[in-house]
Homo-oligomer: A and B are copies of this chain.
Amino acid sequence: MTDKLFLDDLHVGQRFTSASYVLDVDQVKRFAGEFDPQPFHLDEDAAAKSPLGGLAASGWHTAALTMRLLVGGGAPIAGGILGAGVEILWPKPARPNDELHVVSEVTAITPSRSKPDRGIVVLRSETRNQHGDVVQVLTSKLVVPRKAQAPV
């Protein structure tokens, strides 16, 4: 178990790799049925004729699984993973039976001017499948606490 990291423990260029997770076809259809009921996420035949060229996970499912992998050790941030905002690109869809993992890199660290106990960290997280293809790029602005300072 990695110790959780405070703002003071992070540096630009620091990288983290998550565990991996295998997505199965039932999960793809169940998530899509609840949140993104479009034919290319639900039905093999309809998906084959769609721009996605075959059954594909909802991008929101890929995003939610990425969060699961980050929370499960892929981004060991003190105080939890609390995002103020994100950008997401989906260069390729995730497919049933893909084994996904997330490789993250700290790309910026900005201590807060008004709140000396915290700062904003920009984390760029690539979600990759078993072939190394990037299925999602998530850029997150995270609120990260500083270590408590000893009184002077």
List A residues at the B interface (Cβ < 8 Å): 31, 34-40, 50-52, 58-60, 63-65, 67-68, 71-72, 79-90, 143
Query: Contacts of A72 on B, CB cut-off 8 Å?
Result: 37
Copies in the complex: 2
Checking B68, B79, B143 against A36 with a beta-carbon cut-off of 8 angstroms, the contacting residue is: B68
Q: When A85-B88, A88-B86 are in contact, do A143 and B63 touch as well, CB less than 8 Å?
A: no
Cross-chain pairs A/B with CB under 8 angstroms, 20 sampled: A31-B64, A34-B64, A35-B65, A35-B67, A35-B68, A36-B68, A37-B72, A38-B81, A40-B80, A50-B80, A51-B79, A51-B82, A59-B83, A59-B86, A60-B67, A63-B63, A64-B64, A84-B89, A85-B87, A85-B88
